[in-house]
Chain A
């Protein structure tokens, strides 16, 4: 099993490099040949990465997300996996140019600097913690993808509205596709954010840390962001609002989430730490 892990540790960044290069070529050349191979290549890359994570979990008897570098690697995987899911539902390959190179960078950083095995405390081996942290990382990745598509939507919207058909007009998919991708990624992120909150809450109860949780800024910020997304998605699905409003909510929701997470981590670094 260890030799398989060693092999995949080398192979996976190489595959991400290929998907990143492919996404750049797809965007720049709009070549059909590149497009044809991009989805299977991304599928294989994500599949091998999932296998690597599974093997690592088997070897260490925990979810490989307990350290910062493991979380970085998981974020790379999450970006690739969520984009793959969106692609399967008739997505927009040109927009991979901002997502897949980032996934490659994150996976490469995690691979280069995270080779040494790390011992973690028993608390971090708890399955609820694993669910909590894994779903948090994937949720952030999904919301980031939603935000990227939302920004592309707004740029293309502006170009069509002002009759200035620039490079983006030629390269980007139609507004309806961008809108769908924004929405779908937001739904995935919203559901996983809810799972993150619930799993974190359950883990806090199990480990007797419920009192800490109530004053935890990260918990509050995440809950607020989840509520913001709930309003945005609610207006879309229940009220039927479409167009730029829901896209703005997605972009603002992600900006709020990231800004608050960074601020909360910097101001109260000890509040969400796990020992």
Chain B
């Protein structure tokens, strides 16, 4: 048995192709439960930047890749077999390594992003629910989640925000421990303002006001994120209550001046405020950063933070790759161990059969108590005889090829026939 992966990601496929291959949960469920000849074990990982199918291939079966491509073609109408270089095909160790790298976030478009681990877990849960995750896939997924968690806890791969909205939330979290009790004011209801407002809301901010020059637009965004709308004239009074202020308008002149902020801070009695200015030209006067209790970040400051965080994540990549390699080696050891399990089981059954035969032949007229004693004695003897060879066989499985050789020898020496499907 070995793992095979087929799919596309942001490195190999353009966005229109990736779009066509995106599976939502229902579609993914239908896909996993759909008819397929030999692909009983399968996992579908579909995010906005990748769609990948992982299947378990048994050695005697046909190459599963054409069947997988056909399945994708039927499900999405995209023929990946004709477009060379778009679909990535990975087999065995490479497929396992790829799964682990994906889970760790080092294959992601935004290096070290945290969402992917949840997406891998969701995919695993769906496959398990659909009954398409067998022992090998399950083991691979467990190992992937384990190495991803280890990478995140022991390295800086997922540390530091790398987008404007997440930097804003990151800094807010370092200032306030009670975001659900805090109030945010987003000035500007364009696309950036909407994204920041959404991110603030999903990060658990308590209340949110969206202010814009045109109140209708402010109302649209406020309705979308569950906030209150306001016109630009509502900004100065809102400063008294707002703990986080994000500005992203296209105004030519600053809409928040030093004097206004000074007055607001006086009214707030020094309560801290985070100001984020994403606009160019800037919406907030730079001098605001000099005020006590005001933590001001303009677009350059945010950019510098993001660059440093990204560099920090980049530094962690070699260490994460090391962890992945270690996990791949460990998985392969386990996989090789599987090869000797049927032989161990068959050998034990063979010896036990012989033991029972001999007991039945020799102890026919012996009283029940004595027979039980003989049962226990022979069983214990058998355990002791087999313990050494079994342990050595397990250890031999760690070395590539050696396990197979020993299994072949056992088969010949003891005339055993193992059931490989188990």
Contacts and interface: CB of A to CB of B under 8 A. Distances in A.
Interface of A: 29-31, 156, 160-161, 163, 165, 169-170, 172-177, 240-245
A242 B271 CA distance: 6
23 contacts: A29-B154, A160-B174, A163-B297, A163-B301, A163-B305, A172-B174, A173-B177, A174-B175, A176-B175, A176-B176, A176-B177, A176-B178, A176-B272, A241-B269, A242-B271, A242-B272, A242-B293, A243-B271, A243-B292, A243-B293, A244-B292, A244-B293, A245-B270
A177 B173 CA distance: 11
A243 B295 CA distance: 12
Contacts of A169: 174
Contacts of A173: 177
Contacts of A244: 292-293
A174 B272 contact: no
Contacts of B177: 173-174, 176-177
Nearest to B176: A176
A248 to B, nearest CB: 11
Contact of B304 (A31, A163, A245): A163
Interface string B153-185: 110000110000000000101111110000000
A174 B305 contact: no
B376 interface: no
Contacts of B30: none
A24 to B, nearest CB: 16
B308 interface: yes
A244 B295 CA distance: 13
A243 B153 contact: no
Contacts of B305: 163, 165
A225 B301 CA distance: 41
A242 B174 contact: no
Contact of B175 (A170, A175, A241): A175
Q: Which of B176, B270, B271, B301 has the most CB of A within 10 A?
A: B270
Nearest to A239: B269
A161 B295 CA distance: 5
Nearest to A174: B177
Given A163-B301, A244-B293, 13 more contacts: A31-B153, A156-B174, A160-B171, A160-B174, A163-B297, A165-B309, A170-B160, A174-B173, A175-B175, A175-B272, A242-B269, A243-B271, A243-B293
Interface of B: 153-154, 159-160, 171, 173-178, 269-272, 289, 292-293, 295, 297, 301, 304-305, 308-309
A165 B160 contact: yes
B270 A241 contact: yes
A243 B174 contact: no
B114 to A, nearest CB: 15
A163 B175 CA distance: 13
B341 to A, nearest CB: 33
B270 A243 contact: yes
Given A160-B295, A241-B269, A165 B175 contact: no
A157 to B, nearest CB: 8
B297 A243 contact: no
Contacts of A175: 174-176, 272
Q: List the 9 closest A-B pairs by CB distance, nearest first.
A: A242-B270, A174-B177, A163-B301, A243-B270, A240-B269, A177-B177, A243-B293, A175-B175, A176-B177
A63 B308 CA distance: 55
A123 to B, nearest CB: 48
A31 B149 CA distance: 11
A170 B269 CA distance: 28
A243 B271 CA distance: 7
A191 to B, nearest CB: 25
Nearest to B294: A161
Contacts of A165: 160, 305, 308-309
Contacts of B159: 170
Contacts of A161: 289, 295
A244 B291 CA distance: 12
A31 B269 CA distance: 37
Contacts of B289: 161
Contacts of B270: 241-243, 245
Contacts of A176: 175-178, 272
A161 B294 CA distance: 8
A173 B176 CA distance: 9
Contacts of A160: 171, 174-175, 295
A173 B178 CA distance: 12
Contacts of B308: 165
A174 B243 CA distance: 14
A124 B289 CA distance: 56
Contacts of B154: 29
Contacts of B309: 165
Contacts of B297: 163
A149 B293 CA distance: 18
Contacts of B292: 243-244
A243 B175 contact: no
Contacts of A174: 173-177
A173 B160 CA distance: 15
A139 B54 CA distance: 63
Contacts of A170: 159-160
Contacts of B271: 242-243
Contacts of A241: 269-270
A243 B174 CA distance: 14
B111 to A, nearest CB: 17
Contacts of A163: 297, 301, 304-305
A135 to B, nearest CB: 31
A244 B175 CA distance: 13
B392 to A, nearest CB: 36
A31 B154 CA distance: 9
A246 to B, nearest CB: 9
B268 to A, nearest CB: 9
A170 B170 CA distance: 10
B399 to A, nearest CB: 35
Contacts of B173: 174
Nearest to A166: B308
Contacts of A29: 153-154
Nearest to A246: B270
Contacts of A172: 174
B308 to A, nearest CB: 7
A165 B153 CA distance: 19
